[in-house]
């Protein structure tokens, strides 16, 4: 077990981030095109079509149960027109990041499997909370991606210090995830929110995803007092952890109610929401199967 001091670990984490590969040239071009309000489906098609691997992933995802288009879509241009530039950008970005981060050599497959399933659960729940709050359908994919990527900063911790992180998980009993983040800072010299912010900067992930990575444990009193993406991701993160804990008899049943209420949703919707989470999570697992 690594017995390095927090400051030494902080420096090692910084070195790890600097060594991380950049996103592909194709992905960088996709992000650049999607920043241009005058960009067209043809502009995006010209870039993605030059990358057969990314093209295959996008078409596989679009034809999966997650989107269930009803008939096979074989044209990349048609897929972009149907789903919109922003959705295609987010699909490509999620796929690219999963592929890149899965190659970062985390030494505990059990921890990493749990990590990706929690990430996926949080993405699905964030998207559903956004839908319950009336966010237009064309904008909900941004919420899914923000939730899906919210814990990216844990990857260096899980990769470099799996034994210490497993100890932290074993000894931690607080339902407040913010307390766990503070414990990370004490043990490793830096928490996953700060680490995630550095990764978001390295990859130019944009302000909404960056704020979600940085601020999802700030717990503002409501979405009007902070960034809506970070706020809903924070509530979805709490619900995902609570749903996982409810498999144990000691799980506090009111935790989910509290997060749903804070998100501005009637707790009476919880049974329907829980059913939707189960179904949407099964469909969304395609994100993990692409890499």
Structure-block tokens of residue 63: 């034809």
Query: Is 212 in contact with 230 (CB distance < 8 Å)?
Result: yes
Which range is most confident: 119-128, 214-223, 263-272?
119-128
d(CA 175, CA 271): 21
Q: pLDDT band at residue 2, thresholds of 50, 70 and 90?
A: very low
Report phi then psi at 71, rounded to 5.
-140, 150
pLDDT computed for residue 3 by the predictor: 61
d(CA 281, CA 220): 27
Percent of the chain residues past pLDDT 70, beyond the cut = 87
d(CA 208, CA 31): 13
Q: 16-61 pLDDT, tens per residue?
A: 999 988 888 888 888 888 888 888 889 999 999 998 888 888 888 8
Helices 177-188/192-203 angle, 10° precision:
80
Closest CA to 156 of 203, 112, 208, 209: 112
Structure-block tokens of residue 40: 């067209």
Confidence (pTM): 0.87
Q: pLDDT band at residue 249, thresholds of 50, 70 and 90?
A: very low
Half-sphere exposure at residue 175, Cβ-oriented, CA atoms within 13 angstroms: 18
| Chain centroid, CA 143 distance in Å | 9
Contacts of 104 (CB under 8 A, 6+ apart): 20, 155, 156, 159
Q: 167-209 pLDDT, tens per residue?
A: 887 776 555 666 777 888 888 889 999 999 999 999 888 888 9
Q: 121-171 pLDDT, tens per residue?
A: 999 999 999 999 999 887 888 899 999 999 999 999 988 888 888 888 777
The chain-wide mean pLDDT, for the chain, equals 83
Closest CA to 284 of 61, 56, 72: 61
Compute how many other C-beta atoms are within 10 angstroms of the C-beta atom of residue 104. Answer: 16
Give the residue-averaged pLDDT of 208-231. Answer: 79
């Amino acid at each position: 077990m690594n017995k390095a001091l927090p400051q030494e670990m902080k420096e090692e984490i910084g070195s790890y981030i600097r060594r991380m590969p950049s996103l592909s040239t194709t992905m960088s071009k996709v992000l650049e095109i999607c920043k241009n309000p005058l960009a067209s489906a043809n502009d995006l098609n010209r870039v993605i079509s030059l990358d057969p691997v990314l093209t295959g992933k996008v078409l596989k995802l679009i034809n999966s149960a997650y989107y269930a288009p009803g008939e096979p879509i074989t044209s990349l241009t048609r897929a972009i027109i149907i789903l919109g530039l922003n959705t295609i950008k987010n699909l490509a970005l999620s796929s690219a990041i999963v592929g890149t981060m899965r190659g970062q050599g985390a030494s505990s497959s059990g921890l990493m499997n749990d990590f990706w399933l929690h990430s996926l659960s949080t993405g699905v729940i964030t998207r559903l909370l956004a839908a319950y709050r009336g966010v237009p359908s064309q904008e909900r994919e941004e919420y899914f991606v923000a939730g899906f990527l919210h814990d990216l900063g844990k990857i260096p911790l899980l990769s470099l210090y799996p034994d210490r992180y497993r100890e932290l998980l074993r000894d931690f009993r607080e339902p407040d995830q913010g307390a766990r983040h503070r414990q990370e800072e004490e043990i490793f010299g830096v928490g996953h929110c700060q680490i995630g912010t550095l990764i978001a900067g390295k990859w130019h992930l944009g302000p909404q995803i960056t704020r979600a990575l940085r601020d999802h444990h700030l717990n503002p009193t409501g979405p009007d007092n902070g960034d809506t993406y970070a706020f809903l991701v924070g509530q979805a993160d709490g619900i995902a952890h609570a749903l996982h804990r409810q498999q144990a008899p000691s799980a506090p049943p009111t935790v989910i109610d509290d997060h749903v209420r804070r998100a501005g949703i009637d707790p009476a919707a919880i049974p329907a929401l829980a059913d939707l989470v189960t179904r949407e999570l099964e469909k969304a697992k395609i994100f993990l199967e692409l890499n």
